[in-house]
Chain A
Amino acid sequence: MNRHEKNSLIFYFFLVFFILLSVGATYVNIIVEKNFKQFTADEEEPSALDFYFHNNNI
């Protein structure tokens, strides 16, 4: 295994590690903690453009 292959392997290891970490965190937050907002029909829907420019829904 040459230097480039070693570096690539380390890179992919960390990439997969962080992806799994992110997926794990998402799973805990959404599925386990159910930490998300359910909008109701009478609530004003945040359109993508409104959200992007005004960012007042976070």
Chain B
Amino acid sequence: MIDNPCEWGSAALLIFSENVGKLIYYTHVLPLVISLFLGFQVLISNPKELANRVLFVTTVLFATWVYFNLILWASPTPEMVVFFWSLIVPVELLMYLSAVYLVYLFSNRQVDMPTWMKVCFSLLLVPILLFAHTSLNVIGLSPDCDTGAFEGIVIQYMYFVEVFLLFIVVLFIIKGLSRIEKKTERRQLLFIGISTFIFLAFFTAGNFTLFFDLGPYYEQYKLFGMPLFAGLVSYSIIKYRAFHTKTLFTEILISALWILMFSMLLFRDMSYARPIIFITVIIFGFLGIILSRVMRRELEQKAEIERLAVGLEKANERLQILDKQKSEFVSIASHQLRSPLTAIRGYVSMMTEGSFGKLPDKANEALGRIAESTVFMASSIDDFLEVSRIESGNMKYDYKDMNFKEQAEHVVDDLRADAVRRGLLLMFRSDMTGTGMVHADAGKTQQILHNLINNALKYTPKGSVTVYAHDDVKTKKMYVDIIDTGLGLSPESLQKLFGKFARAKVASSANIMGTGLGLFVAREMARAMGGDITVTSDGEGLGSTFTITLPLI
């Protein structure tokens, strides 16, 4: 039996002993709890994800290391000290390897490490596993109970392997950044990589304090890498959805962490550790503020998206119903309304022509009004159908080379009788440098001209309507202006005029019939043929000018 110069007391759960200073418990228990909390939270949230499992293993290994280290401080027997000293070495290296594995996963888009690479990294463990039980690992027990045992060459080897693994972490980060293009994945790698580096660098730095005989208390700072690691990992979980976890637990974790860290400042017998704790508290305070802001914004955005999604679903349902109703309406318009209208027009025509015998003059007058109304009704139905075709993209255009100037002149000739009947002067003028040839659908351009000139005649109670054709060879454009001296348009009416069912205020007051679809259809047609229709007016009662533009050949 070895002679024991130390006063070994009993220790509950191998770690709770009166011989152990409060600082030791604080520096150990806090990172232990945090690491387990983080590891379990990440694992439970998504156990199928490889990165989540690896992070869990890393945190469990860290917690095991911390527990073993506490045993060293509180252990009641010398053999327990040497035993756990020997075990802490493979646990530490395994933890490093696991952390390197984690960074590898993030540098390789979560694709697993090939087995050959795992074997190569594991070879670093061989000397430790082979000699863990020998005095090459732990030389023997120190006479000073606080420092535990003397380290052998295996432990020295491990320290240098750890430095090597730190370089590997940096290498993986650089390699990953050069390969990954997606911004979120790059940020995830940066955060996980840097936080792992900090975590391991703290550990390594703590280990190297032993080389310079700074005393055992300085070594305890190495455990502070874990809270920093937990904080940065939590941030990356929230900000970049690393590990695909929910964010709530992370916020709780970071808050608990800060409170615990801050409370350390209040301990009187920890005055020598205050500077480092103070710095950590400040870093955590800063991180905490960023986290809570990001969290709040995230939650707000999430709530907003959910609200919008519900609204969108309802709107979509309503749209579907409306679309169905619209289709039904188009069907009614084309078949149910048009067919009887044709019959009405046919019979009215037969009656006025005397097919059913001679009718009194009053009846003929009434039939004439019926005929006018049916013409208007047929034109309205045509407008509805045109709109329906435009909106469904079914409008067909038969493009040909045609003379737009001549067409405008012909339409003016056609409508002149109507103008005379209304007591108006309808004129055609032209100022052309070219031929006026355009590539368009002649039927549609005629419809546009008819529509606009008819409108001008309808909305001009007295005066004249001038159709003015001109061109601009430089811009290769042909213009037809329809200038009237009619009711004119207010600025508000000008803005809404080309909308569906839009009618100028003066139209209603002047009792002029119309669906408000003609201009919409005309402009859509002009635009589809590469042209446009614009309107200007100096105001109500001051007339207006509609300009049809089409590209010249």
Which of A34, A36, A40, A58 contacts B143, CB < 8 Å? A40
Q: Please indicate which of the listed interface residues B3, B122, B128 has the most CB atoms of chain A within 10 Å of its own CB.
A: B122
Interchain CA distance A15-B80 in the complex, whole Å: 25
Within 8 A of A (CB), among B90-138: 90, 94, 112, 114-115, 118-119, 122, 125, 128-130, 132-136, 138
Let me know if A19 and B129 touch, CB within 8 A: yes
Interchain CA distance A40-B530 in the complex, whole Å: 101
Let me know if A30 and B142 touch, CB within 8 A: no
Residues of A within 8 A of B152 (CB): 51, 58
Judge whether B348 is part of the interface by a CB distance below 8 angstroms: no
Let me know if B210 and A48 touch, CB within 8 A: yes
Judge whether B78 is part of the interface by a CB distance below 8 angstroms: yes
Let me know if A25 and B132 touch, CB within 8 A: yes
Interchain CA distance A57-B136 in the complex, whole Å: 10
Residues of A within 8 A of B136 (CB): 58
Let me know if A51 and B150 touch, CB within 8 A: yes
B160 to chain A, nearest CB (A): 10
Residues of B within 8 A of A57 (CB): 139, 150
- 25 A-B pairs in the complex with CB atoms less than 8 angstroms apart: A8-B118, A15-B122, A15-B125, A19-B90, A19-B94, A22-B128, A22-B129, A22-B132, A25-B132, A27-B83, A29-B133, A30-B133, A36-B79, A36-B135, A36-B140, A37-B140, A38-B4, A38-B5, A39-B141, A39-B142, A40-B3, A48-B211, A49-B211, A51-B156, A58-B152
Given A34-B1, A49-B211, A57-B139; A8-B112 close (CB under 8 Å) = yes
Within 8 A of A (CB), among B59-92: 78-80, 82-83, 86-87, 90
Let me know if B141 and A36 touch, CB within 8 A: yes
Interchain CA distance A41-B145 in the complex, whole Å: 11
Given A22-B133, A48-B151, A51-B151; A31-B143 close (CB under 8 Å) = no
Let me know if A40 and B118 touch, CB within 8 A: no
Closest to B208 in A: A48
- Name 9 extra pairs, CB < 8 A, besides A30-B82, A48-B211, A58-B153: A11-B115, A15-B122, A19-B94, A22-B128, A23-B132, A38-B5, A41-B143, A46-B139, A47-B213
Let me know if A37 and B143 touch, CB within 8 A: no
Residues of B within 8 A of A4 (CB): 112, 114-115
Let me know if B139 and A58 touch, CB within 8 A: yes
Closest to B6 in A: A38
Which of A11, A26, A28 contacts B87, CB < 8 Å? A26
Q: Count residues of A near B (Cβ-Cβ below 8 Å).
A: 35
Interchain CA distance A28-B79 in the complex, whole Å: 11
Residues of A within 8 A of B1 (CB): 34
Interchain CA distance A15-B124 in the complex, whole Å: 12
Q: Please indicate which of the listed interface residues B112, B152, B210 has the most CB atoms of chain A within 10 Å of its own CB.
A: B152
Given A26-B83, A47-B213; A39-B150 close (CB under 8 Å) = yes
Let me know if B132 and A26 touch, CB within 8 A: yes
Q: Which 4 A-B pairs have the closest CB atoms?
A: A37-B140, A26-B133, A7-B115, A22-B129
Interchain CA distance A40-B210 in the complex, whole Å: 20
Given A22-B129, A25-B132, A30-B133; A11-B143 close (CB under 8 Å) = no
Q: Mark B512-549, 1 if CB is under 8 A from A, else 0.
A: 00000000000000000000000000000000000000
Interchain CA distance A48-B134 in the complex, whole Å: 17
Q: Count residues of B near A (Cβ-Cβ below 8 Å).
A: 43
Judge whether B2 is part of the interface by a CB distance below 8 angstroms: yes
Given A22-B132, A25-B132, A51-B153; A39-B118 close (CB under 8 Å) = no
B271 to chain A, nearest CB (A): 28
Residues of B within 8 A of A47 (CB): 213
B523 to chain A, nearest CB (A): 62
A33 to chain B, nearest CB (A): 9
Given A4-B115, A45-B150, A46-B150; A52-B79 close (CB under 8 Å) = no
Closest to B142 in A: A39
Closest to B160 in A: A52
Let me know if B132 and A37 touch, CB within 8 A: no
Q: Please indicate which of the listed interface residues A26, A41, A48 has the most CB atoms of chain B within 10 Å of its own CB.
A: A26
Interchain CA distance A40-B79 in the complex, whole Å: 15
Residues of A within 8 A of B129 (CB): 18-19, 21-22
Residues of B within 8 A of A52 (CB): 153, 156
Closest to B134 in A: A29
Interchain CA distance A34-B79 in the complex, whole Å: 6
A34 to chain B, nearest CB (A): 6
Interchain CA distance A51-B130 in the complex, whole Å: 20
A30 to chain B, nearest CB (A): 4
Interchain CA distance A52-B83 in the complex, whole Å: 22
Closest to A18 in B: B129
Given A30-B133, A49-B211; A36-B115 close (CB under 8 Å) = no
Within 8 A of A (CB), among B251-281: none
Interchain CA distance A23-B78 in the complex, whole Å: 17
Which of A11, A29, A31, A48 contacts B118, CB < 8 Å? A11
Which of B78, B82, B134, B143 contacts A43, CB < 8 Å? B143
Within 8 A of A (CB), among B439-494: none
Let me know if A39 and B143 touch, CB within 8 A: yes
Let me know if B86 and A30 touch, CB within 8 A: yes
Within 8 A of A (CB), among B3-22: 3-5
Interchain CA distance A21-B130 in the complex, whole Å: 9
